[in-house]
A and B are shown apart, each in its own frame.
Chain A
Amino acid sequence: MNFFHFLWQNHEQVLELTLEHLWLVGISTLLAVLVGIPLGILSAHRPFWNKPVLGTANIIQTIPSLALFGFLLPVPWLGDRADRLAILALTLYALLPVIRNTYTGIRGVDPAVVEAGRGMGLTGSQLLLQVELPLALSVILSGVRVAVVVSVGLATIAAAIGAGGLGEFIFRGLAMVNNQLILAGAIPAAVLALSADFGLGWLERRLRPQ
């Protein structure tokens, strides 16, 4: 078939763009986890911060992705390189599921367990690191999983601002009205999304407390 023939002929470029795609998704997810989990913990422990934090993350989510890329373009240091910009935008989108699931996971820990821990004299950080986070882990991970799957799809749009990734094939295919080119971007992206979903789903089930 023509399509596979095309993939084979361009396998070096397909590989390169796939790796670029993974880089965009990987770094942005990592950043979202580093920022989102502490924010989720904060909003679970301090009810005052709950609404502002989740509200902001919600609002960011409603900005159309192409518009967000456009908004960020004139920002000095960021706008210098398209991949920086794309990573920031993807990070912002990934924040909501990570924050929300961290919040839900920690609030969902059995109150009796938390009370027993406090009554036994665990300090706040011991309670967080040894009890709350381990018990919330599978819920947090399912948030990360949603974030990754959404990011893989969104990252194709990053090609619109020249950040690379599998979106390049898609945009080029659209411009040239070449279905093979579009599929060469779309199919590997779909495979990436599905395997991330499957892999993280498996990990999540393994970590779920009985």
Chain B
Amino acid sequence: MLRCPWLVNSGMLGERALPGRGLSEQVWIWNQVLANNPVIEFRDVAYVLPNGRQLLTGLNLQVQSGETLVLLGRSGSGKTTTLKLVNRLLIPTGGEVRVNGMSAAESDVIRLRRSIGYVIQDVGLFPHFTVERNIGLVPRIEGWPAERIHRRVEELLQMVGLDPQMASRYPHQLSGGQRQRVGVARALAADPAILLMDEPFGALDALTRDQLQREFLALQQRLNKTVVFVTHDLREALRIGSRIALMEAGRLLTVLSPEDFLRSSEPLAAAYVRAFRDGLDSATNRGAS
């Protein structure tokens, strides 16, 4: 019945929002509220740089609980900007971003960020921390007891397919794929309901990327997080997205399921699909000739 146990754990909405009610009753009420409400919502959002460059215009988008929404587009299309608006690394210059039904601008930014996992392409592991300290950072600053952090780190290492002995290693002693696994584990540490991933597998070789994508899918099936995933790779988008949001020059062109994306007549979507098919076809043709 606890569809959203994190709501109670995080203390973001639960007790504070509805004082004097029983726990289960609160969960029930919030489940009702959330059943119809998107977890993340962009309402007519714009982002303009101080120098006047328009990075994002009139963005309206909803992300539902438990789905993996992929933001697909070229570099400079506004994907990363969109992502950073969710955890308020950027503040919209127009419109409103709502997370868990609250305007991101009104909520406590530190609490908001700790309730959202964040994975980036460059990983950004702390080079002076061991793997264990990297993964356990948010739990530690949240004041978890050491024993619980230790158990959580072991559990997470196992979850992302790493040997628990890795815990005492430093980031420079890991391969690129291992580092990114640690990056994912770190983002999951405090069990956030939302995961933001900015080209997390972009810097990896094709085989490692393939393996991590597969593991990500398996993990997502188990954990059921609400994921926003940025990529410029159609193959990746088709593989892991429940829906694909296609962006170009700061605008959202369309949001489609992977199946519809392949059939779409939208020019850019069609161009993506054509480029993707051409790659396979030309290889096949050369093999045939």
Contact = CB atoms under 8 A, between A and B. Distances in A.
Nearest to B171: A210
Interface stretch (B121-129, B146-154, B160-168): B121-129
Interface residues of A, number: 20
A160 to B, nearest CB: 45
A126 B112 CA distance: 16
B141 A117 contact: no
A116 interface: yes
Contact of B118 (A116, A134, A135): A116
Given A112-B122, A112-B123, A210-B170, A119 B128 contact: no
A126 to B, nearest CB: 6
A8 B61 CA distance: 84
A192 interface: no
Given A126-B141, A210-B170, A210-B172, A119 B118 contact: yes
A209 B170 CA distance: 10
B87 A119 contact: yes
Given A112-B120, A121-B111, A135 B128 contact: yes
A106 to B, nearest CB: 14
Query: Max chain B CB contacts within 10 Å: which of A114, A118, A119, A134?
Result: A119
B186 A120 contact: yes
Contacts of B137: 120, 122
Interface range on chain B: under 10, 10 to 19, 20 to 34, or 35 or more? 20 to 34
Contacts of B111: 121
Contacts of A110: 122, 124, 127
Nearest to A134: B128
A120 B118 contact: yes
Nearest to A122: B141
B202 to A, nearest CB: 13
A63 to B, nearest CB: 38
A118 B91 CA distance: 14
A80 interface: no
A112 B202 CA distance: 14
A116 B125 contact: yes
A123 interface: yes
A115 B127 contact: no
A82 interface: no
A123 B87 CA distance: 14
B223 interface: no
A57 to B, nearest CB: 28
Contacts of B187: 120
Nearest to A124: B110
Contacts of B128: 134-135, 209
Given A126-B141, A209-B127, A116 B113 contact: no
A134 to B, nearest CB: 5
B232 interface: no
Contact of A210 (B110, B127, B138): B127
B114 interface: yes
Interface of A: 110, 112-123, 126, 130-131, 134-135, 209-210
Interface of B: 87, 89, 110-114, 116, 118, 120, 122-128, 137-138, 141, 170, 172, 183, 186-187, 196
Q: Which 4 A-B pairs have the closest CB atoms?
A: A116-B124, A121-B113, A112-B122, A119-B118
